[in-house]
Amino acid sequence: MLKYSSLALLFVLVYFLPSCKQENLGEPKNEVTFKVIQDQILTPSCALSGCHQSATDGSFQQHKLILSEGNSYQNLINKIPVNIAAANAKMMLVKPNDAEKSFLFHKMNLTNLISLQILNGKYL
């Protein structure tokens, strides 16, 4: 569970903090970019065969979400989730600058019942 909370925090940092205005503080020492999220989170944890790697994955018809490198950004940002309750709540998979309207944030933190799904006995 701690892993998913850490992932959610990293995701929030990348999408929500860059919109804050700040003075010139110099170059960041540990810049968090979408490439870092892709390389350290999405590719090793999500873009796996049978999960979110390609349209040929067994679960693709359920989620219709490919998170492999080169696909994930365009498939996540400002996209309507296939989860009907989330779509009815006017959420996006990732809504920049609005964690409350970002389904992925809720799903990773299990902060809302619409985000609860079980696959292979594990909470996603």
- Quick one: pLDDT band at residue 12, thresholds 50, 70, 90? low
pLDDT digits (tens, 9 = 90+) for 23-42: 555 555 566 788 998 999 89
Contacts of 3 (CB under 8 A, 6+ apart): none
Question: Which ranges of 17-78 would DSSP assign to H, the alpha helix?
Answer: 34-37, 43-45, 60-63, 72-76
Domain ranges of the chain: 2-17+32-123
**pTM recorded for the entire structure:** 0.64
